[in-house]
Structure 1
Amino acid sequence: MEFPHNRITAKTTNEDTTAYVSIYVQSDSFSIDEAGLTAAVQQWLLDNAPEVVATRAERREQTFPVTELPPLPA
């Protein structure tokens, strides 16, 4: 099972290399600005990883594993 998370894709100077950062946040007692956190990580990558030339972020929602059902009787 995959839980909701933000995923950052970082384009690098090497066109064959892409970096991915997934941010999972779980907190029951206080709220966390996930969009703000993601933006901060994107900026950190651009400022501190010289190979990173561009980033984009997306929200990935919860998905569940799929179980194939048996075929219908003939």
Structure 2
Amino acid sequence: MSNPDIQSADASELSPEQRLEPPNTRLINAGIVTINDMETLQECVAYENAHQNRPQILRRLKSKADELREDEE
């Protein structure tokens, strides 16, 4: 099965819900990998904290934040 919301959207336009609520973990990972700015990352962390609060997803988001900070240097 595919998610038409994700297929039709540019990765930079995905909502936190679209990034973090797909039907399988590979799509969640893809949603996190395509985060390119801290604002989007912070929105995803807030969404995850409010809705699922899954430690493994929060760790992936933290790792992505560390990566974005390194890229800013």
TM over 0.5: no
The structure richer in helix per residue is 2
Q: Relative contact order: is structure 1 or structure 2 higher (C-alpha 8 Å, sep ≥ 6)? A: 1
The structure richer in strand per residue is 1
Normalising to structure 1: TM-score of the pair? Answer: 0.31
Normalising to structure 2: TM-score of the pair? Answer: 0.32
